[in-house]
Amino acid sequence: MAPRTRPVVSRRERPAKAALTREGIVAAAVTVMQAEGLDRVTMRRLAAELDTGPASLYVYLRNTAELHAAMLEELLGQVDLSPVTTAGDWQDRLIKVLWSYTLILLEQPGLAQSVLVTRPSGPAYLSLAEGILALLDAGGVAPDRAAWAVDLLLHFATSTAAEQGTRARAIDAQDEEDTLVTALREAPADTYPQIAALGVAELMSGWGPDRLTWGFGVLISGILQTPRPDQETAPDC
Amino acid sequence: MAPRTRPVVSRRERPAKAALTREGIVAAAVTVMQAEGLDRVTMRRLAAELDTGPASLYVYLRNTAELHAAMLEELLGQVDLSPVTTAGDWQDRLIKVLWSYTLILLEQPGLAQSVLVTRPSGPAYLSLAEGILALLDAGGVAPDRAAWAVDLLLHFATSTAAEQGTRARAIDAQDEEDTLVTALREAPADTYPQIAALGVAELMSGWGPDRLTWGFGVLISGILQTPRPDQETAPDC
DNA sequence: ACCTGAACACCGTTCAAGT
DNA sequence: ACCTGAACACCGTTCAAGT
């Protein structure tokens, strides 16, 4: 390695005081989240990271909820939409897309929880919705039903990620599960006959990927079976 | 109204410094929540309400998550389980129970969000699970499937309450919806043909009770249709 | 043994004042 | 016009010290 008169890399440690932009702030937020978790992504921590005061961030973001939504929109670019256009069973392809979305959120569990409440509306989110609609269309789901179904599927994926993801990372996750297992085991058979008959093993079984895949299957087959309540059987036109 | 020598009611303003108990703390927390919303139910606010310092609460509650779970358990006593034992179509009765549960959470939206992550395990929660299992049993759902189904149904109800309830109370709820509506309306038809074809009206339609009832219907019919993946078709025994 | 004052280490958001 | 220091009004949780 020949010495250089002027080292390129170590010139300075960080991009020292790059001009603030919305994109730059959101990118920094994602970096901090991936390194330290969402609960470290606070306006103050982020401002420190960007060498400024917290007030400056409010020029670009209305509040913390908007920051979270922008972070999700950034991450949503990673959803694998290729199954939308491949050949194969449309249900399998739909489940693949939903899994891809869910996996991204499972890695950032707090984000799923917060996004449950602030739905994004950027291009990445629209593309995801578009892809799901295309698959439902391929499966012959009527448009009025598909409009509701896309929400239902994404809502289910998001909320499952919020639940499972946060649970996985929680410090007292084991404690909490033990409490539930004990409660189930000790449930007296005369008050709770169904619970006693099933037993703890059955009730707590399969909290692996199988359960989510089953959930997606339930939704898809339910969607195919259940007409919207208000709709009269309209003539096709 | 004859005058009394010693007014009973106005003797003292509040139950001045009743001994702390776990039940008392949780009851106070529910009162504060109903009066001021969940975000005002903080350990410090609650301690002030009970005329003590925040540290004292940690004798009875491990942390804020445990407080929230205890509050839900208290509220869960209000779920109307009568449809479990009435006559009538089991699906309609199941939907009634789920609605009763959801309505309670819709009134306390922040609670739903927080409970999504800390599942309760008290008697009220067990009774709810027991009731749902009984209805699934009445509908002929196989036990192994019912074990997963009860979780799926409660999870869906909880997460919908978290989403809808918080949205309803959010200050910028209208703003946020406007952003989504605009994004949908302006979605270019060549990139997002499905979205463009459906139109905003269809996609945003029916965010009333119909949509949740439809969701429950989708789940129930999906549950009836979808076997658990791992299960071989077992002989009945 | 049971309880708690005081401290530690933080928060989000606003707004008057600076450049 | 654009940006931000400093302040306002709070947080959860711990632990050493008191009764």
Rounded mean pLDDT for each run of 10 residues along chain A, 237 residues in total: 33 55 94 89 94 94 92 95 97 98 89 85 95 98 96 95 72 75 94 95 85 97 93 47
Q: Name every chain B residue with its beta carbon within 8 A of the beta carbon of A187.
A: 126, 130
pLDDT score of B105: 93
Question: Model-level pTM?
Answer: 0.88
B209-B210-B214 Cα angle (round to 5): 120
Which residues of chain A form CATH 1.10.357.10?
A: 80-225
pLDDT at B45 over 90: yes
Residue A199, C-beta contacts closer than 8 angstroms, at least 6 positions apart: none
Distance (Å, rounded) from C-alpha B74 to C-alpha A206? 29
A148 touches strand D (CB under 7 A): no
**Best residue in B90, B92, B159, B177 for a mutation probing chain A (most A CBs within 10 Å):** B159
Closest Cα to residue B171, out of B35, B42, B31, B37? B37
pLDDT score of B125: 95
Interface contacts A/B by beta carbons within 8 Å: 185
pLDDT score of A236: 41
Q: Which of A117, A206, A215 sits opposite B162 (nearest CB)?
A: A117
Taking residues B90-105, what's their average pLDDT? 97
Lookup result for tokens 């012959």: A140
For the CA atoms of B216, B86, B88, B140, the dihedral, rounded to the nearest 10 degrees, stands at 70
User: No. of H helices and E strands in chain A?
Assistant: 11, 0
Check CB contact under 8 Å for B129 and A213: no
Q: Which of A117, A137, A221 sits opposite B226 (nearest CB)?
A: A221
Most confident of B104-113, B147-156, B206-215: B147-156
SS3 content of chain A, % helix, strand, coil (to 5): 65, 0, 35
Taking residues B212-234, what's their average pLDDT? 87
Distance (Å, rounded) from C-alpha B8 to C-alpha A231? 60
Closest Cα to residue A148, out of B71, B204, B58, B170? B204
pLDDT at B7 over 50: no
CATH number of the domain located at residue range(s) A80-225 in this protein: 1.10.357.10
Taking residues B198-217, what's their average pLDDT? 90
Taking residues B85-107, what's their average pLDDT? 96
Distance B68 CA to C2 C1' (A): 25
Taking residues B44-55, what's their average pLDDT? 93
Q: How far is CA B149 from CA A114, B140, B222, B223, B231, in A?
A: 25, 13, 10, 7, 15
pLDDT category at B35 given cuts 50, 70, 90 is: confident
Closest Cα to residue A59, out of A32, A22, A27? A22
Task: Assign domain B18-61 to its CATH superfamily.
Answer: Homeodomain-like (1.10.10.60)
pLDDT at B231 over 70: no
pLDDT at B4 over 60: no
Check CB contact under 8 Å for A228 and B219: no
At residue A67, φ and ψ (nearest 5 deg) are -60, -45
Taking residues B37-42, what's their average pLDDT? 90
Distance (Å, rounded) from C-alpha A198 to C-alpha B129? 12
Q: Structure tokens of B190?
A: 């060549």
pLDDT score of B167: 60
Concatenate the DSSP letters of all residues of A102-147 into one string.
HHHHHHSHHHHHHHTTS---SHHHHHHHHHHHHHHHHTT--HHHHH
Q: Which of residues 48-67 of A touch strand D (CB under 7 A)?
A: 52-56, 58-59
**B163-186 residue pLDDT tens:** 886 666 655 667 778 888 999 999
Q: Structure tokens of B228?
A: 């658990």
| Protein-proximal positions, strand C, CB < 7 A | 2-7, 10-16
Q: How far is B49 from chain A (nearest CA, A)?
A: 28
Distance A189 CA to C11 C1' (A): 47
Q: How far is B105 from chain A (nearest CA, A)?
A: 15
Which residues of chain B form CATH 1.10.10.60?
A: 18-61
Taking residues B192-200, what's their average pLDDT? 95
Give the residue, B18 or B214, on which the prediction is more confident: B214
pLDDT score of B176: 77
pLDDT score of A14: 45
Check CB contact under 8 Å for B167 and A117: yes
Phi-psi region of B140 (alpha: psi -120 to 50; beta: other; left: phi over 0): left
